[in-house]
C-alpha cells in the first residue's frame, strides 16, 4: 500500500498567520497527505486544531491530531504535531533534556503493517551542531528501542544540511527522501524584512522525511512551496515542506 507523508514547520502564528494559513490549506488540498507532520504548532492559538479541521474539509481525510508540547517554558507556546487518517495504535514522547526540544511518536496501522512516525524539531543553527548530534543520538537510540514495528520514519526540521555531523549521524541508520533546499522562503515580517535575514533564500536542506531500510520511496519532493498569487512575499511558512509517497516492503 502506497501512502503519502508530508512535513512542515509552521513558524507558530508569526508573520501574517491569518493570511498564510489559508495558503497552507489550499496547498494541502492538492497534496492530500495521509500523514502530516508539523513543527511549531502554536499552542495558545491552537493552530494544530485549526489545521486539523480545515485540512479535513479540504482533503476529505478525517485527520486525527496528536501533539507534544516542548519542554520547559517553550511548552506554553510550541508543540510538535501529527495529523493522520490511519488508525493510531499508541503514542509516546521523548524529552531530550536539551534546549527544551522533544520528539513525538505515533504507531500507525497501515493495511497489515505497523509504522512508527517520529516528529521532532532539533535545536536551531545558532547553537553548535554538537547539541543536534546529542539530540539525534537520543532519537536514534529511542527508535532502536522500539524496533518491533514493520518500519519507521522521522519527520521534521533537523536544522542541519547533510554535510553536518548531526545529519550524517541520522544518515548512518536512515535515508532522506530528498535533498532539495527547504530554508528559507521570502516570507516577510510585518515591517517588510524577510524572515531570517541573516540567511540566503533557499540555501540548504534542513527539513526531512527520513525512512528506515524497509520503506520504499516511490516519489518525493518539496511542498507548501508556492507564494500567494497576488503577493510573492506571502508564503505558507518560512520553510517549505517535504512530501514523499512511501510503501512498507515485506
**Using CA atoms, how far apart are residues 209 and 175, in angstroms rounded to an integer?**
8
CA distances, 71 to each of 102, 128, 139 (Å): 7, 20, 15
Instruction: For residue 4, give the nearest of 118, 86, 119 by alpha carbon.
Output: 86
Q: What range does the domain containing 229 cover?
A: 2-248
**Using CA atoms, how far apart are residues 148 and 133, in angstroms rounded to an integer?**
25
What is the total count of domains within the chain? 1
Examine the pLDDT at 36 and tell me if it is beyond 90. Answer: yes
> What CATH number does residue 31 fall under?
3.60.10.10
**Using CA atoms, how far apart are residues 47 and 42, in angstroms rounded to an integer?**
6
**DSSP assignment, residue 227?**
-
Contact 107, 90 (CB under 8 A): yes
What 3-state DSSP class applies to 225?
coil
**Using CA atoms, how far apart are residues 92 and 80, in angstroms rounded to an integer?**
12
Give the tens place of pLDDT for each residue, 151-196: 999 999 999 999 999 999 999 999 999 999 999 999 999 899 998 8
* Percentage of the residues of the chain whose pLDDT score is greater than 70: 100
Give the tens place of pLDDT for each residue, 53-102: 999 999 999 999 999 999 999 999 999 999 999 999 999 999 999 999 99
In this structure, how many other beta carbons lie within 10 angstroms of the beta carbon of residue 99?
17
**Using CA atoms, how far apart are residues 30 and 54, in angstroms rounded to an integer?**
13
Examine the pLDDT at 141 and tell me if it is beyond 90. Answer: yes
**Using CA atoms, how far apart are residues 21 and 40, in angstroms rounded to an integer?**
13
Q: Residue 132: which residues within 8 A CB-CB, separation 6 or more?
A: 122, 123, 158, 159, 160, 164, 166
Q: How many alpha carbons lie under 13 Å from residue 246 in its C-beta half-sphere?
A: 29
Q: What is the Cα Rg of the chain in Å?
A: 17
Give the tens place of pLDDT for each residue, 210-219: 999 999 999 9
pTM, rounded to two decimals: 0.98
Backbone phi, psi, residue 146, to 5°: -120, 50
Q: Which residue has the higher pLDDT, 229 or 126?
A: 229
Amino acid at each position: 500500500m502506497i501512502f503519502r507523508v508530508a512535513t512542515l514547520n509552521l513558524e507558530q502564528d508569526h508573520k501574517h498567520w491569518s493570511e498564510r494559513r489559508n495558503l497552507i490549506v489550499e496547498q494541502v488540498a492538492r497534496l492530500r497527505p495521509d500523514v502530516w507532520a508539523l513543527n511549531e504548532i502554536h499552542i495558545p492559538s491552537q493552530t494544530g486544531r485549526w489545521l486539523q479541521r480545515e485540512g479535513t474539509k479540504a482533503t476529505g481525510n478525517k485527520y486525527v491530531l496528536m501533539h507534544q508540547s516542548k519542554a520547559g517554558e517553550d511548552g506554553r507556546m510550541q508543540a510538535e504535531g501529527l495529523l493522520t487518517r490511519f488508525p493510531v495504535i499508541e503514542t509516546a514522547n521523548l524529552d531530550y533534556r536539551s534546549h527544551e526540544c522533544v520528539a513525538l511518536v505515533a504507531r500507525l496501522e497501515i493495511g497489515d503493517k505497523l509504522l512508527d512516525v517520529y516528529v521532532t524539531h532539533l535545536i536551531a543553527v545558532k547553537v553548535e551542531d554538537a547539541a543536534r548530534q546529542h539530540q539525534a543520538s537520543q532519537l536514534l537510540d529511542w527508535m532502536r528501542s522500539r524496533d518491533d514495528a514493520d518500519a519507521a520514519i522521522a519527520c521534521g526540521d533537523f536544522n542541519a544540511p547533510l554535510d553536518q555531523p548531526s545529519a550524517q549521524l541520522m544518515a548512518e541508520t536512515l535515508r532522506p527522501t530528498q535533498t532539495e533546499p527547504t530554508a528559507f522562503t521570502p516570507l516577510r515580517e510585518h515591517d517588510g524584512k524577510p524572515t531570517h535575514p541573516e540567511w540566503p533564500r533557499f540555501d540548504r536542506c534542513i527539513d526531512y522525511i527520513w525512512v528506515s531500510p524497509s520503506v520504499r520511496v516511490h516519489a518525493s519532493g518539496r511542498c507548501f512551496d508556492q507564494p500567494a498569487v497576488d503577493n510573492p512575499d506571502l508564503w505558507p511558512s518560512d520553510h517549505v515542506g517535504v512530501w514523499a509517497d512511501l510503501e512498507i516492503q515485506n
